[in-house]
A = this chain, B = another copy of it.
Amino acid sequence: MPEKINGINNSRLFEMMEAVKRQPSLAKFVFRVNNTWMNGGHSRSVIKGFFGAEKEDDSRVSPFIFEIDQPSSLLGRNEGPTAVEYLLNALAGCLTNSIVCLAAARGITLTDIESEIEGRFDLRYMFGLSNEEENILENIKMKIRIKGNELTYKEKQFLCELGKKTSIVYKIITTPFPVEISVEDETSCE
């Protein structure tokens, strides 16, 4: 098997799997985002450090900075995409990465993956106007095209099913994921 398949270093992938089996603490990762409200629907997120493999990461030279806003039809100024679009982006990227790694680990060379993802939402939820008796249909649909050398449709479906089982963002969205929010008291934050 070549050292890299689909751009993934397979020997390192298997080493990591063996390492976390022996020492589960290596598997713990903590990712962080700092967000600041700018004005109206616009806020800004800064992403840089994270903890993983038992240490604070220092591989990122500069922070990643993202603007979140609403379009004018939702009272914003289009300084960035909406939060729900960032979430759809996260799901597409996570599932794609899962499929690429799973294929690499099985020695399957992929040539292309493209996906279109759409989320249907109802403003009445955001306005607190949702009526329990009326079914406000909200869902996410994703179409994915996977291409690889001599890959059958069944194999593509199999990779996608496995991808769903190992994609953390897919899990976060499709299960009731625990989120704990605390409002800081002024005395503790100034």
Contact = CB atoms under 8 A, between A and B. Distances in A.
A178 B139 contact: yes
Contact size range, A: 35 or more
Given A13-B75, A84-B94, A172-B173, A37 B113 contact: yes
A42 B142 contact: no
A124 B21 CA distance: 8
B121 A165 contact: no
A73 B89 CA distance: 22
A166 B83 CA distance: 13
Contacts of A180: 139-142
Given A124-B24, A142-B180, A181-B144, A93 B35 contact: yes
Contacts of A29: 120-123
Contacts of A110: 37
A5 to B, nearest CB: 10
Interface of A: 6-9, 12-13, 16-17, 20-21, 24, 26-37, 39-43, 45, 47, 50, 52-53, 57, 59-60, 64, 66, 68, 70-75, 78, 80-98, 100-101, 110, 112-129, 138-147, 153, 156-157, 160, 162, 164-186, 189
25 contacts: A7-B42, A26-B123, A30-B118, A31-B82, A31-B84, A33-B116, A35-B92, A40-B100, A50-B85, A52-B73, A59-B72, A83-B89, A83-B97, A86-B86, A87-B90, A91-B179, A98-B126, A101-B126, A138-B168, A140-B177, A141-B180, A141-B181, A145-B183, A170-B179, A172-B173
